[in-house]
A and B are shown apart, each in its own frame.
Chain A
Amino acid sequence: MMQFFQETHIDFLRVRKYAMSFSAGLILLGIVSLLLKGGPRYGVDFLGGTEINVHFQQQHNTAEVRGALSQLGYGEAEIKQFGSASDFLIRVQQQQGQGTQVSDNILEALRKVFPSDELTVRSIESVGPKIGQELRTNAIFAVLISLGLLLIYISIRFEFIFAVGAIIALFHDVMVTLSFFSLFNLEISLAVVAAFLTLVGYSLNDTIVVMDRIRENNRLLRRENRDIKHIINLSINQTLARTILTSLTTFIVVVVLFFFGGEVIHNFAFCMLVGIIAGSYSTIYIAAPVVVEWYKKHEVQKIKRSPVAVR
C-alpha cells in the first residue's frame, strides 16, 4: 500500500489563534491594497468600456499606437504591449451614449496610420456602462442567494454553527484570493468570477468532508464525553490523507493550466492555485475553530446528534 501518511496525531487546533491572526493579517493587507488602489481592478466586463487586442505583422511601439489614437481623442487610452512588439492591448473607458462604435473607430484609425501593415483583431470586448453595472449586480445577487441556500442546507444536515463556520471559511477564501489579485494587480473579469465560483465549490467540498467526519466521530465518541477540540482534531487527522491527495491532484491540473493554458486561462488558473491552498487551510483553521470557539462560549461540550442519522 502506497501511503504518504501513516496515522497522524497532530494537534491542529493548538495553533488556531496564530493561524487566525495570520489569515486576518493577510486579509488586512489585501484590504489595505484594495483601499489604496480604489477597489478591485475590474475588467471591461464590469466597468464598461472597450478593450481591443490586436496583432500587427510588423513591430511598433506604444507611442506610435498612442499617436494614432490621440487623433481620435482617445489619447488617454490604456495601451499595453504584451508578448511581442507586435501585440497590443488597447483599452478605452467608455463615454456615455457612445455605444460600441469605439472599437470600429479605433481599428479604422490604426489601419489608416499603419497602411502598409496587416492588422489582425484577436479580440474585442465592448460593454456599455449599463450592462457592466447589471453584470456586477447579477453576480453579487447570485452569490448571496447561493450562500443563503448553503446556510440552510448545512444547518439542516449538520448544525447551524457548522454552516456559519463553512460560510466564514468561504468568505475567507474569497477575501484571500481577492487580496492576492489586488497585490499582484490582476484584473477581475467574468472568467475570474467563474474561477472564484470554482474555488468556492472546491473549498466547500473540503469543508463538508471534514465536517462530515466530525459529525460521525461525535456520534461514535459521544459516550466517552470527549471534548469538541479532541473530536475535531481527530477528524482533521483522519481526513488529512484525503485532503492532501485531493488537493494535490487538483493542484497538478491547475499548475499545468497555469503554465500552458494560454492567456485566457491564466488568471483563472492563478485564482485556483491560491484557492486550493486557501480552501484546504480554511477548513482546518477557519471553519473548525469557529465551531470550537462557539462551543467554548456556550459551554456545550458535545455536538448535538445530527438530525440525519448516519448508518
Chain B
Amino acid sequence: MRRNNTVRIVIIVAAITWALYQLYPTFMSTRLKNQASTHQIKIAQISGLPTDEINHALAQGLLEQKIREKLKDNPEALAPAVAETQKLTALDDRIANYENRAIQRGLDLQGGSYLVYEVDLPKLARDLAKNEDARFEELVRAIEAKSAQPNADFLKILREHFAANQVRLSRYWGNRSQTDVQIVDDIRKSAKDAVDRNLEILRNRIDQFGVSEPSITKQGDLRVVIELAGITDVSRAKNIIGKTARLEFKLLKEPEMINDVITKINGVMKKEMAAKRGDSLLTQIPVDTTQLASADSARVRNEKEVSVDELFPGSSLTGASQSDSAGKDSTLMVDQEVFKENPFSSLLGALGGDLGVPAKNYRAVERILNDPEVQEVIPKEAMFAWSNKTEPIADAEYYRLYLVKKDADLTGTYLVNADANIGSSNVGPQGEWQVNMEFNNEGAKIFGIVTGSNVNKRLAILLDDKVVTAPNINERIPSGRAVISGNMDADEAKDLGIVLRAGALQAPMHVIEERTVGPSLGRDSIEKGQTSALIGFALVILFMAIYYKLSGVIADFALLLNLTLTMAVLALLGATLTLPGVAGLILTIGMAVDANVLIFERIREELRAGKTVSAAIDQGYTRAFWTIFDANISNLLTALVLYQFGTGPIRGFAVTLSIGILASMFTAIVVTRVIFDWMTSRRKLATLSI
C-alpha cells in the first residue's frame, strides 16, 4: 500500500527547522551565560566586590565606573579588571539580545526569590479611617483577630462585626449618607486601585535596586507576585520592596506635655492595678489584662533582669499575649524604687533629652500605650512614636520614644528627589551616610513656613510611623532641602534613597508567601537533574535500540524530535521551565515511548499472525492509534484542568505535559509512520527489523 507522503515529509522538515530556529536563542544564551559567569568570577576575584554588587552594577550600566572607583589606588589590578568588565558588558548585551526569546529557567532551577505580596487590608482600612476613638480600636482589634483565620474576608467581617455592634461604618469612613455596603465597596475599590499604582512603584524600586529581568505581576485583585532571579540578599530586597515608605515630618511636642502625659499614664496604671488586684502590687500586677500582661513580671533593682516564672510561679502570663511569640518578654528591666509610685516611669529611662525604653520593655510599653484608658489621657492632637532602631547604651539596647503631633506638618508627596551620600560640611554629621531630599516648590514653601515658625523646636522625620531622626530646627529653611541622617550604613542609606525616590506605596503590603532558592542549591539541582535526566534518557534510548533494533532507532529519533518540539513550543510561548515542568517532560517521554511500544507490539502480533511486513505495519498503526488517542486525550484533559485551576508549580507541570502530549502524538504516530512507509516503499521488505 503506497501512501503519498510528500506533504507529510514537508511538514516534518518544516517542524524540525522551525524547532531549531526557536531553540537557537536558548542555546546561545546558555552558552554566553556560562562565559559571562567566568568573567564575573574573575572580576570578583580581582576587585573583591561581592557578585551581588557586580550584578546590580551591571544591570544599571555602572559596573566599569564602580570598578574604576574601587580599584583607583591599585593600578595593577585596574587594567585587567577593566578589560574583564568590558568583556562582561559586551557579553551582557549579547545575552540580553537572546534572552527574551530563550526558555526561561524557573527560580527553583536557577536560584532567586519568589515573593507574593498582599495588600494589608486591616492596615489600609485603618489608614482610611477618620475620627478613630477607643470604641473604634476595640472593634477593629476584634475584627483583626477574627480575620487572621484562613479564607477570612476582612471587609466582610468588618461590615458584619460593626453591624452586630450597631455601629455604622459611616461613623469612621466615607460620609454619612453612605450605607455600610457602599463603604465596604469603596474600601475594596481603593485597595484595588492602590495595587495598580503599587505595581508601578514596585517596578521603579526594583529597577533602581538593580535586578536583571525582574517579573512583577498582579495576581487577583489584591496581590502582587514578584520574581527576582539570581539575587542572593533576599532580606535587603524585601526591605526595599515591602517598605511602605510613607515619609512624614512632625513637630515634637514640648517636654512639659510629655511629662504631663507620663504622669497621667502613671495614674491610670496605678488605678487599674489597684482596681484589679487590691493586694500587694508586687505579686499581683496584671495577669488578665492583655495590655499590661508583661508588666507584672520583674521586681528587683534597676538594670536587673528577672524572669517572670522565677518571681511568680504559676502566673499564666503566656496566655495573655497572643501575637508575639517572636519575643515573649520573659524578663523586664524595671526600676524598683520608682515602680510603686510611678509604674509607667519605671519602665522608661532617659536618652539624651528623649525618653529611652530598653528593648526588653518595648512590648510592655507598647501594650500600655495602646490601652484604651491610657489612650484617653494622651492629648487628641498628639501621639507616641518609636525610633526606628535601637541604640546600645551600656549593656542594653534602647529605643527612643517620642511624643509628636498627630497630623503631619509635611509629607513625602512633595518630594522630587532623594539621594544617598556621605555627609559633608554643613548638613548632617560628617562622614556618615545620609539621604538628601529635595521638595518641589509647594513642598519647599510649606517646609519654609513650618521651620520658620518653629525655630528651636524639634522636627521628627518619620518613615512608616517610626522616627528616623528628630533634629532641632536651627533656622528657617527656605531651600526645600532636608537631610535624613542617623546611624545608617551605606546600604541602608542607598535603599532609603531608592524607596523615597520611587515614592510611597499607595497601600501597605506584606509578604504572604516567599520561596527563595540560593544560587548554590539552584546550580546543584540543575546539575544533578540534568545528569540524571540524561543518564535516564540515554538508557531508554539504548534499551529501545536493543529491544526493537532498527525500529527502536526510529522510535528514538521520534523521541528526540518530541523533546525538541516541546522545548521549541515552550520557547515560543515564553514559558518558564521549573522542576514540576521537568516532571511533566518525564511523563511525556514515558508516554511517547509507550506509544511506540504499543505500535511495535501490535506490529509484532500482526507479523506473528503471518501478515506481510507492510500489512503488519499498516494494521499495527491503525489498531494502536485509538489506544494512543484515548490515553493521550485523557491525560490532556487532566492537564488542561490542572492548568485552569492549579497554582504556580502545578501549572508548570500542566503546560509541559500538554505540549508534550500533542508533540508526542505527532512524532510517535506521524513521524515514525512516514519513516516506515519510506522504508517499505523503496523495496518489498521480507522481514522487518523490529
Contact = CB atoms under 8 A, between A and B. Distances in A.
B546 to A, nearest CB: 7
Given A146-B638, A310-B626, A125 B514 contact: yes
Interface string A128-145: 111111110111011001
Contacts of A131: 116, 512-513
Nearest to B113: A124
Contact of A98 (B144, B326, B533): B326
A74 B515 CA distance: 20
B583 A268 contact: yes
B635 A201 contact: yes
Given A198-B583, A250-B590, A204 B647 contact: no
Interface stretch (B95-103, B175-183, B445-453, B517-525): B517-525
Interface residues of B, number: 87
A260 B528 contact: yes
Contacts of A195: 583
Interface stretch (B259-267, B332-340, B537-545, B678-686): B537-545
Interface in B490-528: 510-518, 520-521, 524-525, 527-528
Nearest to B653: A194
Contacts, number: 265
Nearest to A104: B235
B583 A262 contact: no
Contacts of B649: 190-191, 193-194
Among B144, B529, B536, residue most surrounded by chain A Cβ atoms (within 10 Å): B536
Given A122-B521, A131-B116, A250-B590, A73 B323 contact: no
A309 to B, nearest CB: 10
Given A142-B646, A208-B630, A191 B580 contact: yes
Given A130-B151, A197-B650, A95 B590 contact: no
A238 B638 CA distance: 28
Contact of A209 (B116, B532, B598): B598
A20 interface: no
A128 B513 contact: yes
B538 to A, nearest CB: 9
Contacts of A137: 151
Given A190-B649, A268-B579, 9 more contacts: A2-B548, A99-B510, A123-B516, A194-B579, A238-B605, A242-B598, A249-B543, A255-B536, A262-B528
A75 to B, nearest CB: 10
B234 interface: yes
B637 interface: yes
Nearest to B604: A1
Q: Which 5 A-B pairs give the minimum distances between C-beta atoms?
A: A262-B528, A133-B150, A253-B536, A194-B580, A142-B645
Nearest to B637: A149
B539 A256 contact: yes
A108 B235 CA distance: 10
Contact of B539 (A108, A139, A253): A253
A107 interface: yes
Contact of A242 (B234, B601, B637): B601
Interface in A239-258: 239, 241-242, 245-246, 248-250, 252-257
B586 interface: yes
Nearest to B657: A201
A129 B579 contact: no
A261 B579 CA distance: 11
B597 interface: yes
Contacts of B605: 238
B593 A73 contact: no
A253 B590 contact: yes
A150 interface: yes
Contacts of A264: 108, 521, 525, 529, 579
Interface in A36-61: 53, 55
A213 B533 CA distance: 32
Contact of B516 (A99, A124, A205): A124
A259 B682 CA distance: 46
Given A72-B327, A246-B590, A126 B511 contact: yes
A212 interface: yes
Contacts of B537: 253
Contacts of A308: 626
Contact of A252 (B322, B536, B584): B536
B511 A99 contact: yes
Interface in B310-354: 322-323, 325-328
Contacts of A114: none
Contact of A120 (B520, B536, B547, B589): B520
Interface in B669-690: 690
18 contacts: A1-B604, A2-B546, A73-B328, A98-B326, A104-B235, A126-B514, A138-B646, A146-B638, A153-B637, A190-B648, A194-B579, A201-B657, A238-B605, A246-B590, A248-B543, A257-B586, A259-B532, A265-B579
A135 to B, nearest CB: 6
A125 B642 CA distance: 23
A249 B187 CA distance: 58
A43 to B, nearest CB: 12
Contacts of A104: 235, 238
Interface string A199-223: 0111011001100110010000000
Contacts of B648: 190
B528 A127 contact: no
B10 interface: no
Interface SS of B by simple majority: helix
Given A96-B323, A202-B587, A150 B646 contact: no
A261 B148 contact: no
B532 A150 contact: no
B528 A120 contact: no
A251 B351 CA distance: 70
Contacts of A2: 546-549
B594 interface: yes
Contact of A96 (B148, B232, B510, B539): B148
Nearest to A2: B547
B151 A201 contact: no
A81 interface: no
Interface in A85-125: 95-105, 107-108, 120-125
A197 B235 contact: no
A249 B598 CA distance: 13
B631 interface: yes
Contacts of A249: 540, 543-544, 590, 593, 597
B492 to A, nearest CB: 14
Nearest to A269: B532
A134 B323 contact: no
Contacts of A120: 518, 520
Given A134-B151, A139-B650, A204-B631, A252 B512 contact: no
Contacts of B525: 262-265
A205 B631 contact: yes
Contacts of B72: none
Given A1-B690, A97-B148, A120-B520, A150 B637 contact: yes
A306 to B, nearest CB: 10
Contacts of A98: 323, 325-326
Nearest to B544: A249
Nearest to A268: B583
Nearest to A127: B513
Contacts of B646: 138-139, 142
Given A204-B634, A242-B597, A133 B514 contact: no
A209 B627 contact: yes
A311 interface: yes
Contact of B535 (A125, A135, A260, A262): A260
B623 interface: yes
A157 interface: yes
B167 interface: no
Interface string B620-652: 001100110011011101110110111111100
A138 B645 contact: yes
**Quick one: which of B546, B622, B627, B631 has the most chain A CB within 10 A?**
B627
B429 to A, nearest CB: 26
